[in-house]
Amino acid sequence: MTTLVAVSQTEIIVKNNGRVVRVPVANLIKVDETIASCVRTAVQFIGEEVKVPGDNRKPRHARVHGLLQ
């Protein structure tokens, strides 16, 4: 699971699978609409953890198998 914690208005800490990285806000906003929304929420509540929703995609083999049935 990925979480975001705002340190300031310009920097976010990204926690993912045990790794912790500091990233500028401008870089994260460019990634995706969902990520940008989570970043805005994190910046509003500095110091609070914001969970990033996961992508619930099926594995490729499951999609292929589903098409064959």
6: three-class secondary structure by DSSP = strand
- Residue identified by tokens 């110091």 is 47
DSSP state of 18: T
Rounded Cα distance between 35 and 20, Å, is 17
- DSSP labels, 31-68: T-HHHHHHHHHHHHTTTSEEEEPP--PPPHHHHHHHHH
**What's the pLDDT score for residue 41?**
93
What is the DSSP pairing of strand 2-6 with strand 19-24?
Answer: unpaired
Residue spans of the domains in the chain: they are 2-68
In the chain (69 residues long), the average pLDDT of successive 10-residue segments reads 91 91 89 88 94 68 51
